[in-house]
A and B are shown apart, each in its own frame.
Chain A
Amino acid sequence: MNALSSCKKYLNVVPDNIATIDNAFTLRNQAEKYLFTCYSFLPRLGDIANPTLMGSGEMVTPNPGISPMDGYQNIIDLAYGGQNGVLPIGNTWDGENGARSYYIAIRHCNIFLENIVKVPDIQVSERNKWIAEVKFLKAYYHFSLLKMYGPIPVIRKNLPISASVEEVRVKREPVDSVVNYVVQTLDEAIPDLPLEISNQAKELGRVTKPIALAIKAQTLVLAASPLFNGNPDYANFKNKDGQALLNPTVDDTKWKKAADACKAAIDACHEASNAIHYFEKPFNMGAISDATTYCMNVRSTITEEWNNETIWGFSNSKGSTSNLQNMCTPRNDVQQTSGALLAASINAAEMFYTRNGVPIDEDKGWDYAGRFTKLKTIPQSESSLLNPNYITASFNMDREYRFYADLAFDRSSLFGFGRTDETNLLYISTIWGQGNSTGSNSRFSCTGYWPKKLINYKNSGSSGNYNIVSYVWPAIRLASLYLLYAEALNEAEGPSAETYKYIDLVRLRAGLKGVVESWATYAKNPSKPSTKEGFRSIVHQETMIELMFEGENYWNVRRWKNLDMMNRPIKGWDVFQTTTENFYRLKTIFTPNYSYRDFLFPIKEYDLSVNPNLVQNPKW
């Protein structure tokens, strides 16, 4: 008997106090780690690996990827139409192939919510705030899944590990019920969230009331948008038991709800002193022209971290923006080592207005037909934007300031890199073999454009060095809310002074006049802003311009069911040419072949085998 018990002792090697999940909730400091864990699954938006950056066709790289892009081949594949159901790219359902699992995130949120009551040494107000934050995150992860997959299983509570096979085989829930769940959870969270972060040094980036309201607005706009609101293409999209996963009838009141949510979010933002951001010239910078100021307004909205327009900055993204900037920066006379492979497509460049603030095909005074074929000499007056007396395509001239703020290209200026004196600006040249921006088989733009918008003007360098000032990625900014509001209000009630007001606030920052005035003065169809359809088209394009290269348009285009936009051939200049004449010839890089199945991500085929209750998204 004695021997037996000593045997048992011999094998009892585990001391007490082995960390278990309970240890995470014994003290406030430990519980805070769990709170951070719930946050840690937020997507890395300012990262090349964010599939929506390249997936929207706004940015491209050569395919197959060139060695510095090797780690992103799956993202390149996605852009080139390589999405598949076997090993889906950016699979947030399972957390594979360049993504982390939102379902793991949701489970962590639930564990936190179940256990936080156990923590003894925490103030009630702080606990309530934390609970609200995690509820928000739980809603946000569901919302993110909804954007990608449409109807999804909602995980209201965690199933125990020992749950039976029948229990774990969850079903997808209809979009409306997912939306309701997200909205309801956000509503639960909102009262306990702070309006603003008081301890900015340590907590900026944590969830606030405006953030939650903004996500609520985004959710309701998504629910009202054509993709999910009575979409006839999804009439047969049903669970195996016949339950329809989308409401088959269009419900326009959804737009009203969405508009109200947008307005509520905007009001909260204003209360939290968010406003449209304008560039604040540092005291030690010399005078800059209006053109440069407008451009810098746009660039600094992204790259000036925690500026007053940022509603939600993803502090976790900060590290990855460095790599992103590196790939977006053309090599230049100041630094000759940037990655330089991420090219802006001509499709993106076409989106921008003329200097008059109307689309290039609508401007009476802009030669739309000859845009790719005619070359022009750059006048001295454009020297803030373009290298005077050189030749460039007419396409690159007389465009709105956001064109010059967002894009770097042959003969464009590259304000920054320590060169902020406008008499001594940095210009680049991309004709093959000229200047520093090309000339290497492994570092070039395959279109002739780079997304300058994402490059911090504070970056500096030397011939063998590139010092990048990374920034916190603005996941939601006020301008996007304004445009969302204008869009929703227009859908709900048609154009009005209110819709014009908010779209014009965004245009103003870029030096553009209001839509009504601009169209009346310069457009072929001067009354376009006054109709619901006309304004819709205007607000869509405005949104795409304003949010260019931020990854949001990937979702917007799908939300609008704009397949034509998705399938435009991706074009660029003939970048390997060594003469200006030959360089400015339009080349198609590839022609996307999207169909309506591409509005939603595929669920991994394996998951359907594991859980027979799941149905695949249509046509995957």
Chain B
Amino acid sequence: MKIYDLFRAKLWTFNTVQIFRIMRLTIIIITACFLQLSAASKAQVISLNEKNASLETIINKIIDQTSYSFIGDTKLIRKAKLIDINVQNVSIEKVLSLCFINQPMDYSITDRTVVIRKKDKQAVVDIKITGVVTDSTGIALPGVSVVVKGTAKGAGIGAVTNTEGKYVLNVPDGAKVLIFSSVGMKPQEVEINGRTIINVTLKSADAQLDDVVVVAFGKQKKTEVVGSMTTIKPADLKIPSSNLTAALAGKLAGVIAYQRSGEPGADNADFFVRGVTTFGYKVSPLILVDGIESTSTDLARLQVDDIASFSIMKDATSTALYGARGANGVILITTKEGKEGKVNLSFRAENSLSQSTKDVEFADPVTYMTLANEANLTRNPLGGYLYQQSKIDNTIRGTDPVAYPTTDWQKMLLKDYTMNQRYNLNVNGGGKVARYFVAGALSQDHGIMKVDPMNNFNSNANLKTYSLRSNVNINLTKTTELITRISGVFDDYRGPINSGTAIYNEIVNANPVLFPARYAPTEDTRFVRHIMFGNYGDGQFNNPYASLQKGYKDYSQSTMSAQLQLSQDFSFITEGLSARAMVNTQRYAFFDVSRFYNPYYYSLGNYDRVNKTYSLRGLNELQSTISGVPAGTEYLGYDEGDKKVSTSFYSEAALNYKRTFNQVHSLSGMLIGIAKSSLTGGAGDLQSSLPFRNMGLSGRFTYVYNDRYATEFNFGYNGSERFHSSHRFGFFPSAGIAYTVSNENFWKPLKEIMPTLKLRATYGLVGNDQIGSPEDRFFYLSNVNMNSTSNGAVFGTLTDNFLTGVDITRYANNDITWETAKKFNFGIESNLFNKLGIQVDIYKERRTNILMDRTSIPSTMGLSANVRANVGEASSHGVDVSMDYSQNIGSDIWIKGMANFTYATSKFEVYEEPQYAEKNKSHVGYSLSQNWGYIAERLFVDDNDVAYSPKQNFGIYGAGDIKYRDVNHDGQITTLDQVPIGFPTSPEIVYGFGLSAGYKRFDLSCFFQGLGRESFWIDGVKTSPFVNNQGALLKAYADNHWSEENRNIYALWPRLSTTVNVNNTQTSTWLMQNGAFLRLKSLELGYTLPNSITKKAHMSNVRFYLNGTNLFLWSNFKLWDVEMGGNGLGYPVQRVMNLGVLISIN
């Protein structure tokens, strides 16, 4: 019985027990037990004479001669040196002391039992190891503890780095591994391998832990993960912009992203996880910041310095727990939390210079007039000259800039560059009970519009964004943690009444020769106190300068979020059990106010050609009845814009169980329930005003065997209020397995070359309720507008007898339900020589039950709204690859490289459309963002050519207009001749690669980004020159168009026209462009101040950096920045040069 007791006690003290060891030990004990019984009455003195005997032999002899028993690890015992011994009738103590001289083990005797164990204290000679510990930027880290692995902290074998990061440590001979640890840093184990100088770079604990990854509602060990996800170090997302979404492209494998506009406040990039596989309205991923659903604007405003982890969930298992919300992928972000230790302060300041990457070029005024005349006459020989030759001649001569104005609207309105500033401050720290992280940021972005000095208000865009975040963790008890997260983001904007994009559109739509932007006061008008804007006719022409200067708009936008989370460890009930609950509420508010005067427009009157005197004639002293141009005012008017308020309330509760049995069987389970409700204050109609709700129960169960085999099962059971009660809930299971081959024994020989290799596969279903359009709140209800003005009528001699009518905007359909995605993913993760990491994921997805219009219903049904059903199907597939490489050369140079590549393609599988005889019309098999259009063959040579070609049914056309191909040979060009043209409008390939290197205190990094397999179309309508007498003329069109003199049938622009020619503006291959590009997205040079200087200033780290974005672009398209695609006449993407400093104090 005693032995048994001992056995139990022993088990307790072995702290690295492994099962086979226990088995061996048991054998010894059992053996000993039997022996003991037989030797119960033996003498207690021993005689031995052995040469080169093993300790095992000696012990067996002693057992033979005495009633003592032995306990110890056989493995350990076999390590003992061979023994020479010759004693007669001595006590066991004496024998043992002789046997254990210089043995690597010790013994003790308790009640006739000899326990053999490893020696506690090293008597052998210590080895002195020295080194320097730095952080990843090369800064020396003081206060880092260095201990030998396997020794208790109190055991004395340890050291702490000094203020220069140096340490000296005496380690025992047998020591193999050192552990470096420090508050705020990720602990690191380093093998000694006989070295005496060991320099170590510690990584910040903020960085994604290598072996632990953030997954839905928790964390997993890397070997446990079966789902497909991409994680990125937040620092890699740092760009000189106050819009985080601009940094996504090319940085994250699996994300398709591109930026179409550079306007402050409206420059969010479009981004999709693995492209788009639905025709519903919600195609963007779910964005979760600390577990809370957020908008892309919330993401845009997030400070990189506040982010602790950033990951993208791509496949079914990784998103399953989010249920219906995660069908289009999930972006999961956690913000930093406070860490135990003294106050850590970090401050960043940046100033950047921002300018358009490329401005659109327009034709000069003389060319404009000449070609306007050409446009008018070529279409209508009776049309006459729009601009008399005398005006053109005088313009060339520059006779009088007032009478013959030439206005370069771009120059008039836009500056060459603008300056933006960003500041960010965060502090963290805390003690045993509470830890805090508080961050504040301020950024100011300016537009590039000019301001007239006569205005005392500034109408250039100026967006100020403030944000504040406070995360506090409190240990209520040893097992209870309370976390509060409060954050607010506030935008204050002042800018032009119309958006910057609208100003750009006006520039494209303004006549350069009809009038100047403004007139200088003349003798008659010297008392005028307002700006005398130029105009023509009734004042109905577009004067972008007036639009810009007439007033300004203020908007204010704020998002507040408060979150409370309580975690309880229930280990006292059963080990590994914990629970968590969280509530969050968010409030959003937006309003805008415009203040403006109505510009006074003037045109030239009584111009005296000889004396060049003129008077100015006011055009809008009164409101024009015809064009509706309002009468000018000198005082400001006022207009209230949208006021949007919304709230949301989110709660979740989770029960967690995670335990490892027998060291090798890891089991975990989690159940989580969520409920979400949001309300908006300006919904516009009753149905939209009702609360938006979503609830679900999800679960995850994992089993991992010995860090090699991992399996996972997930489910989501979700309800959505949008569906009829019979279809309201959906069940979406998924499962996956992962196999870490490199942890197998047989892999050992390959471990040097390929330290890790892991294979993963998952399959599952995900639901989506965000289908149709957001206005379609309740598919099972009809939507009837009982006060439709357009369906109203008026009768009688009294004009006020108007009654509104009834309009049906949706027909009820009880059967509409969840869109379902079936997702399959296969991934490989590997690492070569611990230097090159590779992760490859291949996926396939099929969406079914996609809501779409029933096109089988003809117009004769007389339905005023489309009838829809879950009939569409689409599929997608693709591959995400990411690679990273790091290498140190000597102690001063480090190099890191990264590359990633995303290919995502989609196609219609089932698409309800009319049964065309023409195969080219069918969507099936083509990308969801494929465009259909006509094949433009060339321009018509002459009217004869027109007469002998198939009739084109898009309005009037003739020589010099685009000739389309009659694909179905029915003798005319109709919609049936449309074929899929070009690549999809959303790129199928997005890639990026970068290199960074450091030498001593300098670091340099560059990042290239590109995309491919994308087509876009020049907007033929918007770029049509001369329309309404005011469409501007692109230089490219002026240089290369069809004219009667130069019948170039492959000219860029067809025959000119003073109106939009419907024939030429059909979607066709004529204006189709390849959207592929590669750009030097960013370049950064950094310098870290030497410690000696930093220390004097009581700082821990100071780094200066100079960086730039969008510096170079390679593309075949030259008219504007190709990334803007078809939006090229809008606010250009910006090139930014930035100077910044980061200061840390602790």
Cβ-defined contact, A201 with B794, below 8 A: no
Cβ-defined contact, B1028 with A104, below 8 A: no
Cβ-defined contact, B693 with A37, below 8 A: no
Tell me if A424 counts as interface (CB < 8 A to partner B): no
Q: Determine, out of A155-163, A236-244, A503-511, the stretch whose residues face the partner at the interface.
A: A155-163
Tell me if B687 counts as interface (CB < 8 A to partner A): yes
Cβ-defined contact, A107 with B784, below 8 A: no
Cβ-defined contact, B695 with A7, below 8 A: yes
Cβ-defined contact, A37 with B791, below 8 A: yes
Q: Which residues of B contact A101 (CB under 8 A)?
A: 859, 862, 864
- Residue among B383, B855, B915 with most chain A CB within 10 A: B383
Q: Determine, out of B256-264, B416-424, B795-803, the stretch whose residues face the partner at the interface.
A: B795-803
* Bitwise interface map of B from 674 to 714 toward A, beta carbon under 8 Å scored 1, else 0: 01010000000011001111010000000000000000000
Cβ-defined contact, A315 with B864, below 8 A: no
Tell me if B811 counts as interface (CB < 8 A to partner A): yes
Cβ-defined contact, A18 with B687, below 8 A: yes
User: Could you tell me the distance between the alpha carbons of A554 and B380 in the complex, rounded to whole angstroms?
Assistant: 26
* Bitwise interface map of A from 156 to 193 toward B, beta carbon under 8 Å scored 1, else 0: 00110101010011100000000000000000000000
Q: Determine, out of B167-175, B620-628, B1133-1141, the stretch whose residues face the partner at the interface.
A: B620-628
Cβ-defined contact, B690 with A82, below 8 A: no
Tell me if A589 counts as interface (CB < 8 A to partner B): yes
Q: How far is the CB of A325 from chain B (nearest CB, A)?
A: 12
Tell me if A392 counts as interface (CB < 8 A to partner B): no
Cβ-defined contact, B862 with A20, below 8 A: no
User: Could you tell me the distance between the alpha carbons of A6 and B653 in the complex, rounded to whole angstroms?
Assistant: 16
Q: Which residues of B contact A2 (CB under 8 A)?
A: none
Q: Which residues of A contact B624 (CB under 8 A)?
A: 337, 464
Tell me if A64 counts as interface (CB < 8 A to partner B): yes
Tell me if A73 counts as interface (CB < 8 A to partner B): yes
Q: Which residues of B contact A206 (CB under 8 A)?
A: 795
Instruction: Give the nearest-CB partner of B694 in chain A.
Output: A11
Tell me if B194 counts as interface (CB < 8 A to partner A): no
Interface size band for A: 35 or more
Q: Which residues of A contact B916 (CB under 8 A)?
A: 609
Tell me if B389 counts as interface (CB < 8 A to partner A): no
Cβ-defined contact, B804 with A24, below 8 A: no
Q: Which residues of A contact B610 (CB under 8 A)?
A: none
* Bitwise interface map of B from 759 to 799 toward A, beta carbon under 8 Å scored 1, else 0: 00000000000000000001001101111101111111111
Q: Which residues of B contact A169 (CB under 8 A)?
A: 858
Cβ-defined contact, A30 with B786, below 8 A: yes
Tell me if A442 counts as interface (CB < 8 A to partner B): yes
Chain B contacts with A in 344-380, Cβ cutoff 8 A? 379-380
Q: Which residues of B contact A393 (CB under 8 A)?
A: none
- Residue among B380, B695, B805, B861 with most chain A CB within 10 A: B861
User: Could you tell me the distance between the alpha carbons of A80 and B958 in the complex, rounded to whole angstroms?
Assistant: 13
Cβ-defined contact, A73 with B695, below 8 A: no
Q: Determine, out of B87-95, B295-303, B949-957, the stretch whose residues face the partner at the interface.
A: B949-957
Tell me if B150 counts as interface (CB < 8 A to partner A): no
Indicate whether A441 sits within 8 Å of B1059 (C-beta atoms), given known contacts A7-B719, A107-B864, A315-B796: no
Cβ-defined contact, A339 with B805, below 8 A: no
Q: Which residues of B contact A440 (CB under 8 A)?
A: 537
Tell me if B163 counts as interface (CB < 8 A to partner A): no
CB contact between B693 and one of A11, A39, A153, A464 (< 8 Å): that residue: A11
CB contact between A199 and one of B625, B686, B796, B1057 (< 8 Å): that residue: B796
Q: Which residues of A contact B797 (CB under 8 A)?
A: 200-201, 204, 306
Cβ-defined contact, A19 with B625, below 8 A: no
Cβ-defined contact, A19 with B784, below 8 A: yes
Q: How far is the CB of B1082 from chain A (nearest CB, A)?
A: 45
Q: Which residues of A contact B540 (CB under 8 A)?
A: 67
Indicate whether A609 sits within 8 Å of B914 (C-beta atoms), given known contacts A13-B691, A67-B1028, A200-B797: yes
Instruction: Give the nearest-CB partner of A88 in chain B.
Output: B953
Tell me if B505 counts as interface (CB < 8 A to partner A): no
User: Could you tell me the distance between the alpha carbons of A10 and B916 in the complex, rounded to whole angstroms?
Assistant: 46
Q: Which residues of A contact B974 (CB under 8 A)?
A: 84-86, 605
Tell me if A15 counts as interface (CB < 8 A to partner B): yes
Tell me if B856 counts as interface (CB < 8 A to partner A): yes
Q: How far is the CB of A331 from chain B (nearest CB, A)?
A: 10
Q: Which residues of B contact A65 (CB under 8 A)?
A: 1059
Q: How far is the CB of B596 from chain A (nearest CB, A)?
A: 23
Indicate whether A168 sits within 8 Å of B786 (C-beta atoms), given known contacts A40-B791, A73-B1059: no
Q: Which residues of A contact B867 (CB under 8 A)?
A: 161
Cβ-defined contact, B796 with A610, below 8 A: no
Cβ-defined contact, B380 with A63, below 8 A: yes
Indicate whether A107 sits within 8 Å of B1059 (C-beta atoms), given known contacts A40-B792, A204-B796: no
Tell me if A373 counts as interface (CB < 8 A to partner B): no
* Bitwise interface map of B from 946 to 980 toward A, beta carbon under 8 Å scored 1, else 0: 00000001111000000000000000001110000
Cβ-defined contact, B861 with A168, below 8 A: yes
Tell me if A33 counts as interface (CB < 8 A to partner B): yes
Instruction: Give the nearest-CB partner of A575 in chain B.
Output: B382
Q: Which residues of B contact A30 (CB under 8 A)?
A: 786
Indicate whether A606 sits within 8 Å of B796 (C-beta atoms), given known contacts A23-B784, A63-B380: no
Chain B contacts with A in 828-887, Cβ cutoff 8 A? 855-864, 867
- Residue among B788, B797, B798 with most chain A CB within 10 A: B797
Tell me if A564 counts as interface (CB < 8 A to partner B): no
Tell me if A125 counts as interface (CB < 8 A to partner B): no
Tell me if A423 counts as interface (CB < 8 A to partner B): no
Cβ-defined contact, A610 with B690, below 8 A: no
CB contact between B622 and one of A63, A85, A464 (< 8 Å): that residue: A464
Cβ-defined contact, B782 with A21, below 8 A: yes
Tell me if A371 counts as interface (CB < 8 A to partner B): no
Q: Which residues of B contact A23 (CB under 8 A)?
A: 784, 786
Cβ-defined contact, B805 with A34, below 8 A: yes
Q: How far is the CB of B815 from chain A (nearest CB, A)?
A: 10
Tell me if A106 counts as interface (CB < 8 A to partner B): yes
Q: How far is the CB of A450 from chain B (nearest CB, A)?
A: 15
Cβ-defined contact, A610 with B782, below 8 A: no
User: Could you tell me the distance between the alpha carbons of A202 and B797 in the complex, rounded to whole angstroms?
Assistant: 6
Tell me if B22 counts as interface (CB < 8 A to partner A): no
Tell me if B656 counts as interface (CB < 8 A to partner A): no
Q: Which residues of A contact B861 (CB under 8 A)?
A: 103, 107, 159, 163, 168
User: Could you tell me the distance between the alpha carbons of A465 and B620 in the complex, rounded to whole angstroms?
Assistant: 11
Q: Which residues of B contact A306 (CB under 8 A)?
A: 797
Q: Determine, out of B122-130, B310-318, B720-728, the stretch whose residues face the partner at the interface.
A: B720-728
CB contact between A40 and one of B384, B626, B805, B855 (< 8 Å): that residue: B805
Q: Which residues of B contact A586 (CB under 8 A)?
A: none
Cβ-defined contact, B788 with A37, below 8 A: yes
Q: Which residues of B contact A552 (CB under 8 A)?
A: none
Cβ-defined contact, A24 with B379, below 8 A: no
CB contact between A168 and one of B811, B856, B921 (< 8 Å): that residue: B856
User: Could you tell me the distance between the alpha carbons of A107 and B857 in the complex, rounded to whole angstroms?
Assistant: 14
Indicate whether A33 sits within 8 Å of B794 (C-beta atoms), given known contacts A11-B695, A62-B380, A103-B862: no
Instruction: Give the nearest-CB partner of B383 in chain A.
Output: A62
Tell me if B1058 counts as interface (CB < 8 A to partner A): yes
Indicate whether A107 sits within 8 Å of B380 (C-beta atoms), given known contacts A15-B690, A33-B803, A442-B537: no
Cβ-defined contact, A21 with B859, below 8 A: no
Q: Which residues of A contact B778 (CB under 8 A)?
A: 14
User: Could you tell me the distance between the alpha carbons of A163 and B863 in the complex, rounded to whole angstroms?
Assistant: 12
Indicate whether A86 sits within 8 Å of B956 (C-beta atoms), given known contacts A465-B622, A466-B625: no
Q: A199-B796, A315-B793 are in contact. List 7 more A-B contacts (CB 8 A).
A: A73-B1059, A155-B862, A170-B860, A202-B798, A315-B796, A337-B624, A446-B382
A–B pairs, 30, beta carbons within 8 Å: A7-B719, A8-B719, A11-B720, A14-B687, A19-B786, A24-B806, A33-B804, A40-B791, A73-B1062, A77-B955, A84-B953, A84-B974, A95-B859, A103-B859, A103-B860, A107-B864, A163-B861, A165-B856, A168-B857, A168-B860, A201-B798, A202-B801, A205-B796, A315-B793, A318-B794, A337-B625, A605-B976, A607-B858, A610-B858, A610-B859
The 10 A-B residue pairs with the shortest CB-CB distance in the complex, in nearest-first order? A107-B862, A609-B914, A37-B805, A64-B1059, A84-B953, A103-B862, A611-B858, A67-B1028, A36-B793, A202-B796
